[in-house]
Amino acid sequence: MSATTKRLKSTPVDVELVPVGASEVAHLHSLEAASYPADEAASLESFVLRQREAGAYFRKCMVGGELAGFICGTRCEAFTEASMATHAAAGPVLAIHSVVTAPAFRRRGVALEGLRQYAEAVAGDGVASVKLIAKAPLLGLYARAGFAVDGLSAIVHGKDPWFECTRDATTVACKVCDSFATEDFSGNPAAVVFRHGDGAWMAKVAAEFNLSETAFLQRRARRRYGLRWFTPSGAEVDLCGHGTLAAAHALFEDDAALDEVAFDSRSGVLNARKLDGGYIELDFPKDAPADVPRDADLVSRLQAALGVPAIASLHKSPLSRDLLVVVSLDDFRNAAPDGARLARIEDVRGVVLCCAGDARGGTEADFSSRFFGPAIGIDEDPVTGSAHCALAPHFRDGDGAVVGYQASPRGGVVRCVVAGDRVKLAGQARTVIAGAVNR
């Protein structure tokens, strides 16, 4: 075997899980028969029953349009030899019967990626746990897919001993990550929950974390996830920079070989990739703000709400609906915002107080900002990545790099590059909490 082939076989692949049709059952059964000893492989009749009675749990693994394997299971009241031969549609246990990888795709991460997607896809709808039996050499694989080894199984297939493994489906993994931070407990914290749910559940989880944003991920492939963001008030937002950075960091941390990921969001596809020095770059849509006419009443209200004596100019971003209030560097430093008055500024996501220059007195930042969003449950956000999609093009004339400093009590630096109709935001992140949340 050539060195090139060896490298190909060790390269993880993107797997798509697709429901299995009745016409495909015989072919998949032949793949199982060629993969298991005769006294361990299921019969064709069992395959037909699983596809007919439990089609939602019979998925084939596709890689680049090719069949790379399959995973199938049925639900049961309790995990026993007898229960695995039937399907109880309301059973709390999902029993995985087969995890098969086609010969050409073995040792390329198909089984691991397929199992992770499968277990996440079938959780819910009354499934409390996902169970399977495995031989000793494969226990490491199932551990990486989130299964715990319970011990030797009473279920017997063939002459070798089997171990029973369980993945809890009543909880969802989560992390709290500090975004745009180089050390723990700085920057902007966001919760990352590794699953979508219905809107009411996600709103409750976001309220429980009580952070400015909670990001919810739904695995679609190894390098592709659905991504949604909720505030503590239960509002779903269209774009969140620090929540996206936290989500990318959490994924890169769990998969060291992963170097880029795409998120499907309400603002389109957002790409994240690793950079040198521990930075992560986010590719966001540019949200170039338009000038707002100087309405005397609005200016007066903003001056009182922000505690500034003068306003140089007003601008509003079309995507995030943030109102950029530009003031002098001295007025920025001496501002005294009033949350109650800011909450009465209508038709905006947030009010962004900003100025040219570095409010810390240095020269690292080209502009400084503070973000206030009481209308969406955020009195002051520590570091607001999405606001920089408007701030960067405002303070940078044309394409190129610009650095923003957000002058909240926690503070943070956002490195930006304006590139056509996109803004690339770069920052670091730190995981400070890891655990699970009830589903």
Write out the catalytic residue numbers: 213
What strands, in cross-sheet order, belong to the sheet with 129-134?
16-19, 58-63, 66-76, 93-101, 129-134, 163-168, 148-152
CA 340 to chain centre: 33
Find all residues with CB under 8 Å of 114, minimum gap 6, and list them.
15, 17, 59, 61, 68, 69, 71, 99
C-alpha R_g of the chain? 26
H runs (alpha helix) in 16-147? 25-35, 44-53, 110-122, 139-144
Quick one: DSSP state of residue 170? Answer: S
User: Would the CA dihedral through 261, 264, 266, 270 be positive or negative?
Assistant: positive
Q: Which residue spans within 255-349 are E strands per DSSP?
A: 260-265, 268-274, 280-285, 290-291, 313-316, 322-326
93-101/129-134 β-pairing: parallel
Non-local (6+) Cβ contacts of 150 within 8 A are 163, 164, 165, 166
Residues whose CB falls within 8 Å of the CB of residue 30, separated by 6 or more in sequence, listed in order: none
Give dist(CA 67, CA 385) in Å, integer.
40
Determine the Cα–Cα distance for residues 219 and 373; give it in Å rounded to an integer. Answer: 30
Sign of CA pseudo-dihedral 290, 291, 297, 298: positive
| Separation of alpha carbons 413 and 50, rounded Å | 54
Q: What whole-number distance in Å separates Cα of residue 5 and Cα of residue 107?
A: 12
